[in-house]
Amino acid sequence: MGSLLPVLASIALLDSLSMVPLCALPLSTMLGGPRPWAGASGFIGGIVSVYFAAGVGLLAGARVLLDRLNPVLERLWTDPYTLEIWIQVVLGAAMIGFGWKLGEARKGPRDEEPAAECSPATAFALGAGITVVGVPGAFPYFGAVDQILQADVQGVGAAGALLFYCVIFVLPLLMLCAVRVITPAQSEAIFGRVASLADRWGRKLGVGVLILVGLVLFADGVGWLLGHPLFPPPV
pLDDT digits 0-9 by tens, 205-223: 667 777 888 898 899 889 8
Percentage of residues of the chain with pLDDT beyond 90: 16
Contact 158, 59 (CB under 8 A): yes
Please tell me the predicted confidence (pLDDT) of residue 115.
45
Assess whether pLDDT exceeds 60 at residue 76: yes
pLDDT digits 0-9 by tens, 153-204: 888 888 999 999 999 999 988 988 888 888 877 766 777 666 566 556 656 7
Mean of pLDDT values over 90-96: 87
| Backbone dihedral region for residue 87 (phi beyond 0: left; psi -120 to 50: alpha; all else: beta) | alpha
Please tell me the predicted confidence (pLDDT) of residue 107.
54
Please tell me the predicted confidence (pLDDT) of residue 112.
44
Please tell me the predicted confidence (pLDDT) of residue 99.
76
Alpha carbon distance 141, 136 (integer Å): 10
Mean of pLDDT values over 131-144: 81
pTM of the complete model: 0.62
- Identify the residue with better confidence: 59 or 46: 46
Alpha carbon distance 195, 216 (integer Å): 29
Q: Which of 26, 1, 12, 6 is nearest to 125 (CA)?
A: 26
Average the pLDDT over each of 42-56, 97-111, 149-163 and give the range with the smallest value: 97-111
Assess whether pLDDT exceeds 80 at residue 97: yes
Q: Which span out of 12-21, 71-80, 85-94 was modeled with the highest average pLDDT?
A: 85-94
- Cα Rg of the chain (Å, integer): 21
